[in-house]
Amino acid sequence: MTLKIGIVCPYSWDSPGGVQAHVRDQAETLIAGGHDVSVLTPVEDPTHLPPYAVDGGRPRAVPYNGSVARLTMGVKATARVRRWIREGDFDVLHVHEPLAPSLGVLACWAARGPIVATVHSSIERSRALATGYYVAQTALEKINAIIAVSEHARRTIVDHLGADAVLIPNGVRVDTFREAAPLRRWAGPSVMFLGRMDEPRKGLPILLTAFAEVRQRIPKVTLILVGPGDPDEVLAGVPAAVREGIVCLGRVSEDEKARALASADLYVAPNTGGESFGIVLLEAMAAGAPVVASDLEAFDHVLDNGRAGRLFPVGDASALAHAIIDLIDDPAERAQLRDIGRQRAELYDWPRVARDILDVYASVTAGQGPVTEDLRGQIVGRWAGRRREAP
Amino acid sequence: MSWWWVVIIVSGVVLVALYLSMTAGRLDALHRRIDAASHALDVQLLRRSALTSDLASSGLFDPATTVVLAASAHAARAVDVTDPVARGLAESDLTRVLMEVLPDEAEVAELRHSPEACAMLDELSSTCTRVQLSRRFHNDAVRACRQVRRHRAVRWFRLAGHTPWPHTMEMDDTPPSALTDR
């Protein structure tokens, strides 16, 4: 059965982010499955929107949850959301990050009928959430089913809001990564880092310390850094002899990322915290790069307690160096990790994840009609609605 | 002086009335959410017992298993749907029978010899998952509704009207593990 699905993205389509990537992959997987999908999203420049996406208005910078988020709110945004719901005639409405004060909350208020929400981040109970508690509840109460992408996110919902959530993990586009052609061959063994270089929680300094140790043992090894950040600043304290073995690729496109991963002998994730899922690990595994990662709870889970990759204690540079040296010296072990990693990534393949999401849709659409505009409390809207219905 | 008091009292009354009207609206939406969720759960449970009946009459199993399957599917369909406890017990029995009949992957792989059998087992598998999801969503709707109905204002002003106190659905809904490990 094909469904008409309306998806709401809370963050600006043109700024990179995990939620946006998730929404894009979800929409494209569902469309490939024959469903009719429309995505409503804030966007700076609507000319670059894909055909299935609808302009939800320009985002504004608002301080939220400890950082500045670019969100869309206001009277105009509300009107757009209402029109999109009215004209979309959706079988199910899927809202992402319903706790962010953006289009998602507006959509929850504006709609009635089958509403599904996906929670991505784990928000600690903040003052903002406490004051917004009543507001958050009124939106959450209308949601028929909540999906959490990680156990961490699920616990946020259960502990802070008392609601239940179903765990459906993030998806990875296994095909894209499996079929990626290696970017290029490096002279010696290569180790790769991916992420913001100047973000301390990504843990690059730990890897740089470890890499100096690795290079003493294996002089031909190359470290490839992929991601935004100023290399001169980040590598300022690195000795020249070590600096020779480091290549900076800077910010790359999705395709180049897949190809870079496919050309690496090892992928290292030295993160020190702030990761609730670890999608990059799965992408590396799908591309065939064996993974060495710090033993954060989320990574531990993705790597199946160390069976699908090597774990080292968070922040321990010498343990990381040993793990890298061990694996570079042992091609058989790397080949084995590559096979296990590929199989593990299959579990998170988007078509499989989409099937779980469709089960949730089926469970909420079975008991009620399609999504309609909620006109409660809308004096003007009700009047307009009556005018529209009159011939 | 007294004029100000009138203004304060009137605006107070208006605010209370607005709050009560909003809460009544919330409660109404929550009751509708429970109705939708329990209807959805009902649909999935009926589908599960129907599929079990089909499986029983498919000739895939030996006579003894066929009888057990058919009997538990019938029991689940014949139960009084207005009695959640009795229904929960009958459905839990059906869950256990399915688990016994489809104990491990080797057994299920043996059953998957024809396309019809495969289709039937796949549909049963997804229906079992949907039963589990629907029940969780239903019970979560009940929890959200109860939370609001416990408010003092809701009890004092009887905002819930005559709608009965909502009940969760308690049953064993574990899908047969041999089916869901896809």
Q: Would an 8 Å CB–CB cutoff place A147 in contact with chain B?
A: no
Q: Are residues A385 and A279 in the same domain?
A: no
Q: Are residues A340 and A194 in the same domain?
A: yes
Residues 335-364 of A with CB under 8 A from B: 352, 359-360, 362-364
Rounded to the nearest angstrom, the minimum Cα separation between B36 and chain A is 4
Q: Are residues A70 and A181 in the same domain?
A: no
B144:A140 CB<8 A: yes
Alpha helices in A62-203 (DSSP H): 75-88, 103-110, 127-131, 133-140, 151-156, 174-178
The stretch A170-186 carries a mean pLDDT of: 87
Neighbours of A212 (CB within 10 A): 18
A144:B137 CB<8 A: yes
Give, in degrees to the nearest 5, the angle at Cα A273 between A268 and A274.
Answer: 110
A141:B39 CB<8 A: no
Which string of b and e fits A53-63 if b means at least 16 CB within 10 Å?
bbbbbebeeee
Token duo for residue B42: 């009902």
Neighbours of A14 (CB within 10 A): 16
| pLDDT above 70 (res A69) | no
Q: Are residues A320 and A182 in the same domain?
A: yes
Q: How many whole angstroms from its chain centre is CA A385?
A: 38
What's the order of all strands across the beta sheet hosting A166-167?
Answer: A53-55, A36-41, A4-8, A92-96, A115-119, A145-148, A166-167
pLDDT band at A136 (very low <50, low <70, confident <90, very high): confident
Q: If you count residue pairs, one on A and one on B, with CB atoms under 8 Å apart, how many are there? A: 73
ipTM: 0.87
What is the spatial distance between Cα A111 and Cα B45, in angstroms, rounded to a whole number? 28
Cβ–Cβ < 8 Å for A193, A224: yes
What is the spatial distance between Cα A363 and Cα A361, in angstroms, rounded to a whole number? 5
Rounded to the nearest angstrom, the minimum Cα separation between B169 and chain A is 15
Query: What residues are paired with A293 via a beta bridge?
Result: A269, A311
Q: Would an 8 Å CB–CB cutoff place A81 in contact with chain B?
A: no
Lowest mean pLDDT among A69-73, A382-386, B51-55: A382-386
Token duo for residue A72: 């869309």
Token duo for residue A113: 């009928």
Total count of residues recorded for chain B: 182
Q: Are residues A296 and A269 in the same domain?
A: yes
Handedness of CA A139, A145, A151, A154 (dihedral sign): positive
Residue A242: CATH number of its domain:
3.40.50.2000
- Residue A271 sits in which domain range? 175-346
pTM tops 0.90, yes or no = no
Q: Are residues A139 and A246 in the same domain?
A: no
Q: Which of A119-123, A218-222, A240-244, B79-83 has the highest mean pLDDT?
A: A218-222
Euclidean distance between the first and final Cα of chain A, in Å?
A: 33
**pLDDT digit string, tens, across residues A77-125:** 888 999 999 999 999 999 998 887 788 888 998 998 999 999 987 665 5
Q: Are residues A119 and A212 in the same domain?
A: no
Residue A222, φ and ψ in degrees, nearest 5: -115, 140
What is the spatial distance between Cα B61 and Cα A140, in angstroms, rounded to a whole number? 46
The stretch A333-342 carries a mean pLDDT of: 94
A144:B44 CB<8 A: no
Q: Are residues A160 and A15 in the same domain?
A: yes
pLDDT of residue A66: 58
| pLDDT above 50 (res A264) | yes
Rounded to the nearest angstrom, the minimum Cα separation between A117 and chain B is 12
Q: Are residues A63 and A104 in the same domain?
A: yes
pLDDT (tens digit, 0 to 9) for every residue of chain B, 182 residues total? Answer: 688 999 999 999 999 988 888 888 889 889 999 999 999 999 999 999 999 999 998 888 888 889 999 999 999 999 988 888 999 999 999 999 999 888 888 888 888 888 888 889 999 999 999 999 999 999 999 999 999 999 888 889 888 888 889 999 999 999 888 777 54
pLDDT of residue A391: 43
Give, in degrees to the nearest 5, the angle at Cα A317 between A313 and A320.
Answer: 65
* Percent of chain A residues past pLDDT 90, beyond the cut: 51
Q: Are residues A108 and A185 in the same domain?
A: no
What is the spatial distance between Cα A97 and Cα A9, in angstroms, rounded to a whole number? 8
What is the spatial distance between Cα A94 and Cα A114, in angstroms, rounded to a whole number? 9
Domains identified in chain A, total number: 2
- Mean pLDDT value across chain A: 87
Q: Are residues A325 and A358 in the same domain?
A: no
Neighbours of A52 (CB within 10 A): 16
Best of B133, B181, B182 to substitute, by most chain A Cβ atoms within 10 angstroms, is: B133
What is the spatial distance between Cα B67 and Cα B73, in angstroms, rounded to a whole number? 10
Q: Would an 8 Å CB–CB cutoff place A376 in contact with chain B?
A: yes
Handedness of CA A28, A72, A140, A79 (dihedral sign): negative
Report the residue from B30, B38, B40 with minimal CB separation from A364: B40
Q: Are residues A379 and A323 in the same domain?
A: no
